């Protein structure tokens, strides 16, 4: 067994477009459990901690501004290999090339903005998951 938990965020574009239900539906349809869930508006301090690996990159400031632009939904999902599994459900970072069948491939596209708007975040490793869950659900 590799029972894991991962942090999933429905980003402000997902909330604005009314895709919270559709995204949760896909997580549940895959068979993962929703362990915790809350709607919130993230502030700069929280986002700087969450996206620490991207500090200094050209898209960092647009990313933080975008993530503060409206409410988000933070989810902890649980299941065997859920970290890898949700990344597969989400699809590639760039929604133009994300495979059809994935959240980003089916529901997102390039908006021509400085930061890629791709509906969801998912932790990329067990270490990231632990760290990010701690940031959003202390
Ligand atoms: P992911 O969300 O797929 O883990 P990431 O951690 O590399 O991708 O980047 C975080 C977010 O930042 C990503 O979801 C969208 C945005 N982003 C990443 N690379 C970018 C780039 N080269 N230009 C614009 N936005 C980018
Ligand atoms: Mg990432």
Q: What domain count does the chain have?
A: 1
Q: Which domain holds residue 94?
A: 3-136
Residue of 55, 93, 114 to mutate, ligand 1, most atoms within 8 A of C-beta = 93
Supply the CATH number for residue 63's domain.
3.30.70.141
Q: What angle do CA 14, 5, 11 make, to 5 degrees?
A: 15
pTM value is 0.98
- Cα of 98 from ligand 2 centre, angstroms: 15
- Tell me the C-alpha distance between 36 and 137, whole Å: 9
**Residue 1 has what pLDDT?**
77
pLDDT per position in the chain (138 positions), as tens? 789 999 999 999 999 999 999 999 999 999 999 999 999 999 999 999 999 999 999 999 999 999 999 999 999 999 999 999 999 999 999 999 999 999 999 999 999 999 999 999 999 999 999 999 999 998
Atom of ligand 1 lying closest to residue 114 CA: 24
- What the block records as the tokens of 74 is 């933070």
The single residue of 8, 89, 121, 123 carrying the catalytic annotation is 121
Spatial strand order of the sheet with 72-80 comes to 33-40, 72-80, 3-10, 120-122
Residue 137 Cα distances to 30, 60, 124, 129, 130, angstroms = 23, 23, 17, 11, 10
Is 6 near ligand 1, meaning CB less than 6 Å away?
Answer: no
């Amino acid at each position: 067994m590799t029972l894991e938990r991962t942090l999933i965020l429905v980003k402000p574009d997902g909330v604005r477009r009314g895709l919270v239900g559709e995204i949760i539906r896909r997580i549940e349809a895959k068979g993962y459990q929703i362990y915790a869930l809350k709607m919130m508006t993230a502030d700069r301090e929280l986002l700087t901690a969450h996206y620490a690996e991207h500090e200094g990159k050209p898209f960092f400031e647009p990313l933080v501004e975008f993530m503060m632009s409206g409410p988000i939904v933070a989810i902890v999902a649980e299941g065997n290999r859920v970290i890898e599994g949700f990344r597969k459900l989400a699809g590639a970072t760039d929604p133009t090339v994300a495979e059809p069948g994935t959240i980003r491939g089916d529901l997102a596209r390039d908006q021509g903005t400085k930061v890629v708007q791709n509906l969801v975040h998912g932790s990329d490793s067990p270490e990231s998951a632990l760290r990010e869950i701690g940031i959003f659900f202390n």
